[in-house]
Structure 1
Amino acid sequence: MPSEPSNDTEQWLTSAEAARFLSVQPDTLQKWRRHGRGPDYTTALGLRSPRYRRRDLDAFMQDGMVSNTTQAASYHRNQR
Structure 2
Amino acid sequence: MLFKTRLIPRLLALFGMVTAIMVLIAGSLDMFGIVEPLSTVKGLIALPVGVYEMSLAIWLIVKGFNMSMLNKLRTS
> Relative contact order (C-alpha < 8 Å, sep 6+): which is higher?
2
> If each structure's strand is expressed as a fraction of its own residues, which one has the higher value?
1
> Which is higher, the Rg of structure 1 or of structure 2?
2
Superposed pair shares fold, TM > 0.5:
no
**What's the TM-score, normalizing by structure 2?**
0.29
Select the structure that is richer in helix.
Answer: 2
Under a length normalisation based on structure 1, what TM-score does the superposition of the two structures give? 0.28
